[in-house]
């Protein structure tokens, strides 16, 4: 908790999104202080509540509807159940839009237009509304109607083309990244676009429509490797665990673990040869350029380094690298991440009160924006139980009385 004013105090967001990419965007806005109202289908809720490999346990030890997938992308939101296919549900949404700043949705192209909930319809109610649609392939084009999930875009956009073991090695070939990185990056890009639209509205008084596509993010996130191709016309080879810049950069194996080493500049390489007590390697014609160390003779050099590193412990080598200023970091399995002193110092494991959980808490991953000096991102609300705030929103924001709320429940609107 903090007494600092939040960056998005007074901003209200209607989050009609499901699964991961768009919910991440809503969560970022919530972390920055926006009032995010998550609209979920009655009974069923967000599909993401059923995804992942773990669920928060309740006080009886049973699984709640708070899956890992949902929990990591829906904190700082209030959950409201609403059936927008019913006229009463549509009317409630329109009433919310009147006092909202942003609406995020990730339905199929044209789906919400059937209910009069598209941008053109809602901007008549609130001309200052920022309406953001997140889809797989965008609102127009030959693929616009296709559904899309993260793995599809890792395949289509180029990430898999540059991830995996190099050709000629056992198991070579395209490799999917472990996390849903395209979803995650698209969520961040979406939040940035919304923040830009809010700034423009401050300057002009105008709302706008935002068309976000996972495809666009998937191509952009290949970044400098894709730019290599655009400049040279040649597709860079897969490097496995090798670095994409200078060399040597790769995993090196110690007597009790693994370190990732990046001695990417000439000076870093010189220091490494001294540390290895092999200064002659610095002028060795096999390794006397960054290209040779990082590309042409990369594996030969990594093998030489590993012959040396296998005789030493991770702790000893890390200390030696730190002393001479060579960038390196130990490889961590997931449990080890949370034992890293710097991770603890940055308070990246955020213990958060959650009344429905067995011990009353859930550990979340802190926002990377939590270190802003004036308006830090904070966790004010845990991921919500389905429909947890429906009555609160209807009563406090829209002025519905108990009888009207009960009627909506009977009609299965909420």
* Domains of the chain, residue spans: 12-221+344-410, 249-253+258-330
- Residue 248: asked if its preceding bond is cis (omega within 30°), the reply is yes
Statement: residue 1 has pLDDT above 50: no
Average pLDDT over residues 14-37: 98
Domain 249-253+258-330 class in CATH: alpha beta
Rg (CA), the chain: 25
183 is catalytic: yes
Q: Whole-prediction pTM value?
A: 0.94
According to the model, what pLDDT value does residue 2 have? 45
Residue 160: pLDDT above 80? yes
pLDDT beyond 80 at 294: yes
Segment 328-334 long-range contacts (CB within 8 Å, at least 24 positions apart): 328/259, 328/260, 328/261, 328/262, 329/259, 329/260, 330/257, 330/258, 330/259, 330/260, 331/251, 331/257, 331/258, 331/259, 331/260
**pLDDT value at residue 5:** 83
CA distance 301 to 278: 12
What is the rounded CA–CA span in Å between residue 174 and residue 62?
Answer: 39
Cα–Cα distance measured from residue 393 to residue 249, given in angstroms and rounded to the nearest whole number: 53
Q: Quote the mean pLDDT of the chain.
A: 96
So what's the architecture of 12-221+344-410 in CATH? 3-Layer(aba) Sandwich (3.40)
Q: What would the pLDDT profile of 203-216 be if each residue is shown by its tens digit?
A: 999 999 999 999 99
* Paired residues of 351 in beta bridges: 363
**Of 75 and 147, which is predicted with more confidence?**
75
Calculate what percentage of the chain has a pLDDT beyond 70.
99
Using the structure block, give the residue that is written with the tokens 């339905």: 107
- Angle 314-324/266-275 helices, nearest 10 degrees? 130
Catalytic site residue from 118, 183, 266, 396: 183
Reading across the β-sheet that carries 35-40, which strands appear in turn? Answer: 77-81, 35-40, 12-16, 102-105, 130-135, 208-213
In whole angstroms, give the CA distance from residue 87 to residue 390.
Answer: 17
Dihedral of alpha carbons 120, 121, 124, 127, sign:
negative
Give residues with Cβ within 8 angstroms of 183, minimum separation 6: 19, 20, 21, 24, 149, 150, 214
Which distant-in-sequence residues (6+ apart) come within 8 Å of 114 by Cβ?
none
- pLDDT for residue 244: 74
CA–CA gap between residue 346 and residue 370 (Å, rounded): 9
The pLDDT of residue 126 is above 90:
yes
What is the pLDDT, as a whole number, of residue 68?
96
Q: What is the pLDDT of residue 308?
A: 98
Q: What percent of the chain has pLDDT over 90?
A: 93
pLDDT at 295: 86
What pLDDT sits at residue 237?
87
Is 108 a residue whose pLDDT tops 50? yes
Q: What confidence score (pLDDT) does residue 4 get?
A: 67
């Amino acid at each position: 908790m903090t007494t600092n004013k939040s960056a998005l105090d007074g901003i209200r967001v209607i989050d009609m999104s499901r699964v991961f990419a768009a919910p991440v965007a809503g969560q970022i806005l919530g972390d920055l202080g926006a009032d995010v109202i998550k609209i979920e289908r009655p009974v069923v809720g967000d599909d993401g509540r059923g995804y992942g490999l773990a669920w928060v346990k309740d006080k009886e030890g049973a699984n709640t509807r708070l899956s890992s997938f949902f929990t990591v992308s829906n904190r700082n939101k209030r959950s409201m159940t609403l059936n927008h296919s019913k006229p009463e549900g549509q009317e409630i949404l329109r009433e919310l839009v009147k006092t909202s700043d942003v609406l995020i949705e990730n339905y199929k192209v044209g789906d919400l237009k059937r209910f009069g909930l598209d941008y053109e319809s809602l901007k008549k109610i609130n001309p200052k509304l920022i309406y953001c649609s997140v889809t797989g392939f965008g609102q127009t084009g030959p693929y616009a109607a296709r559904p899309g999930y993260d793995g599809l875009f890792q395949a289509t956009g180029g990430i898999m083309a540059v991830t995996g073991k190099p050709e000629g090695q056992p198991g070579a070939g395209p490799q999917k990244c472990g996390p849903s990185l395209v979803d995650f990056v698209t969520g961040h890009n979406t939040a940035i676009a919304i923040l830009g639209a809010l700034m423009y509205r401050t300057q002009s008084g105008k709302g706008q429509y935002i068309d976000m596509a996972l495809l666009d993010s998937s191509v952009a996130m290949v970044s400098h490797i894709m730019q290599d191709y655009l400049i040279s016309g040649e597709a860079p080879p897969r490097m496995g665990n090798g670095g994409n810049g200078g060399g040597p950069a790769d995993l090196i194996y110690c007597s009790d673990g693994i370190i990732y080493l990046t001695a990417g500049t000439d000076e870093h390489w010189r220091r490494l040869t001294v540390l290895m007590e092999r200064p002659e390697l610095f002028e060795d014609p096999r390794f006397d350029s960054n290209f040779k160390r990082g590309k042409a003779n990369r594996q030969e050099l990594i093998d030489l380094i590993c012959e040396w590193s296998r005789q030493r412990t991770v702790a000893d080598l890390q200390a030696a690298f730190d002393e001479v200023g060579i960038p390196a970091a130990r490889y961590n399995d997931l449990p080890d991440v949370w034992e890293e002193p710097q991770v603890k110092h940055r308070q990246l494991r955020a213990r958060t009160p959650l009344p429905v959980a067995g011990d009353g808490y859930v550990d979340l991953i802190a926002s990377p924006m939590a270190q802003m000096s004036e308006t830090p991102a904070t966790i004010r609300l845990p991921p919500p139980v389905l429909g947890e705030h429906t009555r609160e929103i209807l009563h406090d924001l829209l002025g519905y009385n108990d009888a009207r709320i009960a009627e909506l429940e009977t009609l299965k609107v909420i």
